[in-house]
Amino acid sequence: MKAARTPLPVTQPAEERLSNADYQRVAQFVTSATGIKLPPAKKIMVEGRLRRRMRALGLSSLHEYCELVFDSGTCDDEVVNLIDAVTTNKTDFFREPTHFTFLNKTVLPLLYQEGHAVKMWSAASSIGAEPYTLAMVLSDFADTHPGFRFSIMASDISTEVLSQAARAIYAEDMIEPVPLAMRERYVLRSIDPARRLVRMAPEIRAQVRFLRINLMDARYPVDRDMDVIFCRNILIYFDKPTQEMVVRRLCQHLRPGGFLMLGHSDSIAGLSIPLKSYGHSIFRRE
């Protein structure tokens, strides 16, 4: 009887691997363009995502892809695709639900008493779950508070996720955190149940305006009297100086007394910023 042969390990072809030098070019570019850090531990993830772009362009290697992006001088559009490819877009409806409870129980009644139209900004909004959650919460509040008016702006650096957010079509499993009453009112199911897809109702889609914003930009095309800004779970990808710069710029668009919601994994400890803590990850501009 012949001994069983041990299968050889599967490795990626050399032409589909990023050299350390090319990875450094990618990482340095992404950090300078977006503030997002790409440590060595992210190399395999970045390879996988750029491999899809390499194949879409008909290139034979990741090195050739890097030469096209960084050396040809003729590929500005691909720079946007590269950023889209390597930025992580994790999101859920009603993610970190304590923020929405605080919004509904504390912030909205306060703003309603003030009587002005409420402005909210979902920064780093990814595929739209966060701003559509806001739209559902605010729509419910408006139904029981006559005259309540609001607008929601949502932004992200990735054109790909913004396009997906505008379509507002999601896998059925994604809406599990949405309360049943809201699902029945604001979520449409596919005519074909086998597809297991849902779409936000037209009145909810109409409440959200999407645009591309890079938080590293010196200026944001955003009103300077926002009542609430959500900027959650993005600061963790920045170093401390970048965190302080971004939060200071966000505060410039937050009216005095306005609220900033950060992610539970974000920390602004030690930063010199005009905010007062209202509990974990909830802050108010002084």
Element (H, E) at 190: none
**82-100 burial: b if 16+ Cβ within 10 Å, else e:** bbbbbbebebbbbbbeebb
Query: Distance between CA atoms of 124 and 180, rounded to whole angstroms?
Result: 27
- Residue 156 annotated as catalytic: yes
DSSP string covering 20-48, please? HHHHHHHHHHHHHHH-----GGGHHHHHH
Contact 147, 178 (CB under 8 A): no
Q: What does the block give as tokens for 239?
A: 């170093």
Element (H, E) at 170: strand 169-171
- Of 211, 127, 140, give the one whose Cα is nearest residue 174: 127
DSSP 8-class letter at 284 = E
Catalytic residue among 25, 49, 249, 255: 49
Catalytic residue among 156, 227, 232, 266: 156
Which residues have a catalytic role annotated? 49, 156
